[in-house]
Amino acid sequence: MAGRSTGRRRPTDRSGGGLRRLTHAVAGGRGTAGVDGRIRLLRFGFIVFLVLVGGRAVAFASSSQNLTRIATEQQTADVVLPAHRGAILDRNGRELAVGKPQQTVFATPYLLDDPKADAEDLCDALQINRLRERKAVRAKLVDEDSGFAYVARKVDPGLAKAALALDLPGVGSYVEEERAYPLKGTAAQVLGFVGVDNDGLEGVEYLYDEQLSGVAGSESIVRDPAGRTLRTIRQTQPVPGADVRLTLDAEIQFEAEDVLKRAVRSSYADAATAIVMDPHSGEILAMANVTKDGFHGFGKDRDAERNRAVIDQYEPGSIFKLVTISGALADGIVTPETSFTLPPTMTLYDVTIKESHPRGTVTYTVGDILQWSSNVGAVTIGRQMGQSSLLKWMDAFGFGEPTGVEFPGEASGTVPAAAEWSGTSIVNIPMGQGIAVTPLQMAVAFSTVANNGMAVRPRLVSQVGTDVHDEVDKHRVLTSSVARKVRSMLLKAVDAGTGTKARIPGYEVAGKTGTAEKVLEGGGGYAKGVYVASFIGMAPADRPRVVVLVAIDGTPMFGGDAAAPAVQRIMRFSLQHLEIAP
């Protein structure tokens, strides 16, 4: 039993052991494959994870760079550094126009905590009291999308300091120049003016804007979130503008304007112009313009802003007889002693020529005609000259063309071409009607006679920066002999003729009166009893150092009464100021 039992278990054990080994072998193969699969799955998942993490990292890095760039842009600003605008000086270096340092206050609206309240506080600090201006500031500061707004331009530094003391986020200031004119309105029409950004808009400020302006600089700065400057990244310094020195003498200019103001009042006129000129160099020592209402700043009265001496055109009247008689002498048509029998009036075509004061028939020499400013005598000489001669001499004296003074808007005057002459032109033109001139053109014509027949281009500017403008541009118009003869006749006109109110004790003054009928607006004839009264004088008569013109517009008075006294006062002051001996 026992042996049998033992014998049966062996085969069972052998077969059972093989099955278990087979089972284990099969189970072992399946386990290895599962492990490898799981490892591969884990590897794949890890790779995906790394890719996702890497992508997020790259995206984060990119986002960080963008955020850094945005933050930098929000905190970095490029600021313009305005250049100092050059000064405008008179011939002696006296300041006529200068740059005055001021402060401009600005704000970053979106940084303000309470824009409406902050606007009120800023207006109080800056003393902005007008309701309209306060509303404008409030409107700019409540704009949350705005990154920059001006609160106040060019204010006193003390007011800007008070505004900054409020310590409002995003509120700052920078230096900005304001154009100032130390002599107030003196020579205003010559100097001109600038805009809010210091760009020249009129006069010398406009003509030499590029030289005066200089070159602006710039700087890049970093600000904190409150808008305060932390540091400067880079900076380019501005280049200051050049100074412009004029030929004007501030003392003579001031005197001329003061005399004109009184002349306008006393002659019941609308306006007046004066020019003081050196006939040898062409330098303009004074160029004054005055209206009855006065000058109250640019942008307030266009009529008072005009530089009438250069821009306005008018019929010159009797002062133009200098051109007629100078031309007749130069052509040999007459001499100073040539005499004419002149009736009280002269009627040609449909025009009757009268004298300024009634008289009978007289015998006048050419010198007498100029001395007593005879209209009949001037027309008589002009008819002998004829159209071609008159046109030749008007051209020779520079009428119908700009003088070349280099002032914006200079008028050329009007001289009718030969084909445009009417039958009465030969009557009107010799006595200074039917043509249009500027006051400066007449001053240049008289300076030609004063300078022994040499015409000199007028000059207003003597130096720009280091560039000196001292070249005298001249050419001969008359012989010195003819010029001296004309001066001699003009001397008699002041000594005992129509210009006696221009006499100066101790000096010999030569000059000529003019009374021209004022043309109506639109050119439809002449205003009755309203004139452009003028006088031009030169002294000392033997070798003139100054030529002075005064033209008074819209007066019922004649040139000898309204303009001659004004020339006398301006000339007397100029001679003494320039230390010209009697």
**Residues acting as catalytic residues:** 318
**CA separation for the pair 347, 356 (Å, rounded):** 15
Q: Is the peptide bond before 540 cis (omega within 30 degrees of 0)?
A: yes
- What is each CA distance from 75 to 72, 108, 146, 458, in whole angstroms? 5, 12, 15, 56
> Could you give the CA distance from residue 447 to residue 313 in angstroms, rounded to a whole number?
19
Over the range 223-245, which residues count as b (16 or more CB within 10 Å of their CB) and which as e?
A: beeebeeeeeeeeeeeeebbbbb
* Contact by Cβ (8 Å): 412, 206: no
Torsion (CA) 153, 158, 162, 164 in degrees, nearest 10: 60
Residue with tokens 């209209």: 375
First to last CA, the chain: 177
Helix axes 375-396, 321-330, angle to 10 degrees: 70
Q: Which helix (H) or strand (E) holds 51?
A: helix 2-75
Determine the 3-state secondary structure of 289 from DSSP: strand
How are beta strands 461-464 and 454-456 bridged, if at all? Answer: unpaired
Q: How far apart are CA 454 and CA 474, in angstroms?
A: 6
Handedness of CA 423, 428, 433, 437 (dihedral sign): positive
Find the DSSP H helices in 76-177: 115-125, 131-141, 157-164
Q: Hey, what are 259's tokens?
A: 């005399």
The C-alpha atoms of residue 193 and residue 289 are separated, in whole angstroms, by 16
Structure tokens at 339: 């005499």
194: closest CA among 318, 301, 98, 259?
A: 98
d(CA 364, CA 337): 9
* Rounded Cα–Cα distance for residues 122 and 169 (Å): 12
Q: Write down the residue that tokens 């009268």 correspond to.
A: 354
Amino acid found at 106 = F
